[in-house]
């Protein structure tokens, strides 16, 4: 889709506030929706990034539930509640901690609909955050989207803007399947236009954030913003980059990606995760399988170096992909 953004004149909101509005609106709309997680209600005042702020005052402790420090318990209880007919939204403080909840998530939530022949559904959302925010070290800074993309039965959503964050979260809550909803720590205080009227952003639809003719850059989360900055720099030298925000990694919108590559004949995939076995590899593989004849240059992946995230912020920035890496990649494929 091209330019699926907020209408002119929409008010400005932060990414965190947009997520908060999505939760509030869906809880008002459907009494089955509830939030569960560590420090999201009475004790934490809205979670580590304030996304659930004010919800316990409006909906009470029965629908905004603080939990013990056990990610396995949070996800396990959510799976049971969803199977019983509720619509839980579980918050995991850092996506790195989802490693502690992989059994209920991967072996129960993802497989229950299939194993019960469609007689059971698990309409739950697991909200968490990914990416390196600066100085939180190797166990709080990873981008693990590819883990969950590999599991049949899970949907994976990674919004980049406040508009998309709100619309995608509302769609995720209404979806009958388990959804891994990964925010980014550096995006919570970014601002963008968000309509006051209700709207949804459909899962499985990419969005073209900038139209170009010379090279397609497919990205998500913070890399969308870096790609837009890179595109501004590239345009000064006559290179017009088309920026595709994948938004939903599973299901992935290959139709929009291939249509863009058909126009530009060049592809770069950019993500903050390590290049090796990151989600970009899947995009590149699919384009190679069904659209190889569209290409005039080798495809390129831009991502983090294959290292744990250092605690030192200068070292962290040294291994993460940045605008300059995107500019260099674009110039290389255009010059090929």
Burial-class residue 291 by CB neighbours within 10 Å (0-12, 13-18, 19+).
Answer: middle
CB 82 within 8 A of CB 36: no
CB 184 within 8 A of CB 220: no
**CA–CA separation, 16 vs 191, rounded Å?**
9
Residue of 21, 26, 38, 71 with catalytic role: 71
Q: DSSP string spanning 111-154?
A: THHHHTTTS-----EEEEEES--SS--TTS----HHHHHTSTT-
**CA–CA separation, 80 vs 72, rounded Å?**
12
Q: Is residue 113 annotated as part of the catalytic site, yes or no?
A: no
Residue 91 token pair: 């918050």
Q: Is residue 71 annotated as part of the catalytic site, yes or no?
A: yes
Closest by CA to 161, choosing from 48, 17, 283, 27, is 17
Task: Scan for tokens 């019983």, then name that residue.
Answer: 84
Looking only at Cα atoms, what is the longest distance across the chain?
60
Residue of 113, 140, 184, 271 with catalytic role: 140
Residue 30 token pair: 């459907």
Residue 26 token pair: 């869906």
**CA–CA separation, 336 vs 328, rounded Å?**
12
Residue 326 token pair: 């995107």
Distance of CA 88 to CAs 26, 60, 317, Å?
11, 15, 36
**CA–CA separation, 243 vs 228, rounded Å?**
7
DSSP state of 275: S
Please state whether 47 falls in left (phi above 0), alpha (psi between -120 and 50) or beta.
left
Q: Residues with catalytic annotation?
A: 71, 140
């Amino acid at each position: 889709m091209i330019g699926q953004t907020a209408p002119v004149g929409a008010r400005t909101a932060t990414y965190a506030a947009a997520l908060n509005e999505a939760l509030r609106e869906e809880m008002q709309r459907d009494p089955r929706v509830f939030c569960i997680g560590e420090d999201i209600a009475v004790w934490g005042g809205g979670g580590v990034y304030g996304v659930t702020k004010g919800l316990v005052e409006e909906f009470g402790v029965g629908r905004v539930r603080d939990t013990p420090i056990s990610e396995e318990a949070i996800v396990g209880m959510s799976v049971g509640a969803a199977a019983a007919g509720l619509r839980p939204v579980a918050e995991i403080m850092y996506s790195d901690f989802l490693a502690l909840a992989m059994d209920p998530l991967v072996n129960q939530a993802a497989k229950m609909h299939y194993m019960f022949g469609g007689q059971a559904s698990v309409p739950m959302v697991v909200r968490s955050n990914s990416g390196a925010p600066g100085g939180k070290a190797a166990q709080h800074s990873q981008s693990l989207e590819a883990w969950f993309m590999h599991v049949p039965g899970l949907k994976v959503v990674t919004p980049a803007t406040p508009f998309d964050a709100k619309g995608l979260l509302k769609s995720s809550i209404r979806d009958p399947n388990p959804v891994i909803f990964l925010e980014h720590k550096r995006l919570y205080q970014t601002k963008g236009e968000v309509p006051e009227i209700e709207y949804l952003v459909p899962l499985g639809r990419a969005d073209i954030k900038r139209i170009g003719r010379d090279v397609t850059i497919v990205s998500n989360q913070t890399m969308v913003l870096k790609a837009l900055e890179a595109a501004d720099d590239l345009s000064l030298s006559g290179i017009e980059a088309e920026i595709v925000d994948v938004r939903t990694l599973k299901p992935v919108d290959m139709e929009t990606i291939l249509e863009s590559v058909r126009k530009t004949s060049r592809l770069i995939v950019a993500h903050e995760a390590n290049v090796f076995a990151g989600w970009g590899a899947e995009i590149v593989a699919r384009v190679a399988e069904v659209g190889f004849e569209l290409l005039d240059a080798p495809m390129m992946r831009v991502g983090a170096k294959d290292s744990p995230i250092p605690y030192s912020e200068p070292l962290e920035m040294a291994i993460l992909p940045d605008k300059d890496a995107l500019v260099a990649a674009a110039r290389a494929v255009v010059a090929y």
